[in-house]
Amino acid sequence: MQIQQIRNSTLRLSIAGKLILTDPILLPRHGIEFFAGIEKNPIVDLPFPAADMIKDIDLVIISHLHQNHFDNGAKKMLPKNIPMFCQPGDENAIKENGFSDVTPIEHQLEWENIQITRTPGRHAGNEKWEAILGKVSGFIFKVDNEPIVYWAGDTVLYDEIKNIITTVKPDIILTHSCGAMLQDSGPIVMDAEQTIAVCKLAPEAKVIATHIDALDHGTVSREALRIHAQKNGISSDQLLIPDDGQILNF
């Protein structure tokens, strides 16, 4: 298995001989509007050309439809016949952009011998912003003779996420860990403290912190997360914080 951090939550996941692209944002730096009024997004460029990033992909999975997870660049550049999975309710909006093979995952399905299970998320620290930001999803990937991967998605850490981690016992947990905030929202994804809590909850798992150093409403940098992990006794062998373009092999 191989996981390549691209930018934000755009990842290339190689599993069971297939290449899965998650949450594709393909526009160059500053191609999306401000979120916090600091700088247009994304605040960094892709680590390599978008055309190279989407080369040879077999499947696209979109956790939700916010611009920083499925942007106009992806809508334009991705092959219109590429298989795409999403959460229920998002399929029509994706199809409106010309994509012909879009499947919502209600709970679980099997694709190319890979079991994919959709999981819930809570995209806010309070009810007001949860209603504003709407429904989000994560996904679990299981295949024989490969690590179990849990991509938590745009969620804070709450009881249901803890329950998934303790019952599924994933070998790899992908967290969105930039601590993004909007006005009075509180963190709308995991921050440093919540990411460390995931590490302590699953001490045998590899935790991979993504969705960092890419957006203007992020409050936690890679370096700040590393420092917080060290202070809390979490090793760099357990908490992996890849740079954009970096490949991790398992």
pLDDT for 124: 86
Note the pLDDT of residue 230: 97
Q: pTM for this structure? A: 0.97
Question: What's residue 220's pLDDT?
Answer: 98
d(CA 25, CA 40): 14
**Residue ranges of the chain whose pLDDT lies below 70:** none
d(CA 160, CA 152): 11
Q: Are 198 and 175 in contact (CB under 8 A)?
A: yes
Handedness of CA 196, 201, 204, 210 (dihedral sign): negative
- What is the total residue count of the chain? 250
223, 195 Cβ separation under 8 angstroms: no
- Write down the residue that tokens 């398992």 correspond to: 250
Cα distance between residue 115 and residue 109, in whole Å: 6
- Collapsing DSSP to helix, strand or coil, 201 comes out as helix
Question: What's the confidence (pLDDT) of residue 126?
Answer: 85
Where helices occur in 89-191 by DSSP H, the ranges are 91-95, 127-133, 159-168
pLDDT at 125: 75
H or E stretch at 209: strand 206-210
Going along the chain from its start, the domains and CATH numbers come out as 2-242 (3.60.15.10)
Residue type, 146: E
For 53-108, the pLDDT digits (tens) are: 999 999 999 999 999 999 999 999 999 999 999 999 999 999 999 999 999 999 99
